[in-house]
A and B are shown apart, each in its own frame.
Chain A
Amino acid sequence: MDGDSNQLIRRAQSGDVRAFEQLVETHIPQVRRFARAFAHHEQDADDLAQEAFIKIYLSLGSYRFQSAFSTWVFSVTRNCFLDSLKSRSRREKTVEAVSASTDVPIAPSADQLIELQENHSRLWSAIQKIPLEYRTALVLFDIEGLSYDEVAVVENVALGTVRSRLSRARAHLRALLGRENLRNQEPTSVVSPTERGNSR
């Protein structure tokens, strides 16, 4: 971790909200996606992500610069999500979020956007059905691109346990979606509708 980050952490630890916001700037999209694996709707996921950031902020005093800050953030976030699931059933909002994603690289048509969102919703729904103990490994490794070592630190388990959980999570997804459906997801999600035919 560089000196600037350490300085930001120390300022945030003393109650500087702006420093904290600067510090977690790059983590906001990651934590919001991670939250999606624990909430049925985007609005609920955002509430959960904000809850996690508050917890990270209030717990900053316990961060001792002994692990990577990003790993610590995921660790606190994971615990927050698990606590939230255990302590109360999540309130479900009835309003379905159907706004278009602004991050699709090539502007697709409205139909393609809807199809894309439906596929993403279907995937997230399937991920939410994976047992809790396997879900984190799949989201952090397969979606967020963390290493086995990093996931092991976040979950506080051995490397072998991470591999095993990942394998089981994928097996659950195979069962939930079906192998053939999985392959069909790929081109739709990746970008261009023309690639869809080529990759089948």
Chain B
Amino acid sequence: MTGRLDDSDDDLRHPWQALRVNPPEGDFRAALHRKLVAAGPPRPLDTAVGIRDWIARRPALTWPIVGVLTGAATFFALSRLLEADAPIAARAPLPPPAVMARGDVHPTYAVPSSKVAVIKLNFAADVAVENVTFEVAVPEGLAFWSRGQRLPERTFSWPGRLDAGDNWIPIAVRGERPGLYRVKARVQIGSETLEHDVVLEVKGGA
């Protein structure tokens, strides 16, 4: 503790500490688990919020950053104005954007592009469920891999069952170029769908 209580406060603290008992659990954890699964994965941090927080923690840098951003904005505004006067043929088409996970995400797995990655997806279930449909999809730039061969399909689905507890599904994939890729998996249980995403970072080199 950082501070000490004075004498008059010491005897006041006792009754409050008596409240530090755990209330009966009941089905609290089970209900929480259901709500967490239904809530979906955490939201990735909004880049603007991240930058704002970063600046907020460094107040001394606020005005220098504002100055730099103002200069950059002026530069880009002038560039656009000058570019608008240039002939259309001179403007090169933009390269297609890489298909990657969006936002500020942390990769669950990292693997070099020269290797096949085995991703383990887990669907946790409180009780066993029969007759479910699994589906796994990979984005452009990532491919399913089987027996040393690249598979052309981007999505696979198959019928199955969920056991009570963890249900691990290994999926072999290989990245074709470096980047962050989100592998989407879901399981259909009647009209309900559970989703689970895994982010794979493909690195360059061996």
Of the candidates B20, B26, B42, which one forms a contact with A143 in the assembled complex, judged by CB atoms under 8 Å apart? B20
Interface residue? A28 (CB, 8 A):
yes
Contacting residue for B24 out of A50, A53, A101, CB 8 A: A101
How far is it, in angstroms, between the C-alpha of A103 and the C-alpha of B43 when the chains are bound?
36
Given contacts A18-B124, A18-B166, A182-B15, contact A42 B23 (CB under 8 A): yes
In whole angstroms, what is the CA distance A57 to B43 when docked? 9
Q: How many A-B residue pairs have CB under 8 A?
A: 150
- Does residue A168 face the partner (Cβ distance < 8 Å to B)? no
Set of chain B residues within 8 Å of A14, measured between Cβ atoms: 41, 105-108, 197-199
Interface of A is mostly: helix
Judge if A149 is at the interface, Cβ distance under 8 Å.
Answer: yes
Closest to A49 in B: B28
Q: Does A60 contact B (CB under 8 A)?
A: yes
Contacts of A185 in B (CB 8 A): 15, 18
Nearest-neighbour CB distance to chain B for A62, whole angstroms, equals 5
Among B18, B28, B37, B122, which residue has the most Cβ atoms of chain A within 10 A? B18
B1 A147 Cβ-Cβ under 8 A: yes
- In the complex where A14-B198, A148-B3 touch, is A101 in contact with B122 (Cβ < 8 A)? no
Query: How many residues of A sit at the interface, in one of the four size bands?
Result: 35 or more
Query: With A18-B124, A103-B21, A186-B15 given, can you name 10 additional A-B contacts, CB distance below 8 Å?
Result: A10-B108, A16-B122, A17-B37, A18-B122, A45-B23, A53-B36, A57-B36, A61-B42, A145-B20, A189-B18
Q: What residues make up the interface of B, taking CB atoms closer than 8 Å to A? A: 1-3, 9, 11-24, 26, 28-29, 31-33, 35-37, 39-45, 49-50, 53, 57, 103-108, 122, 124, 166, 196-199
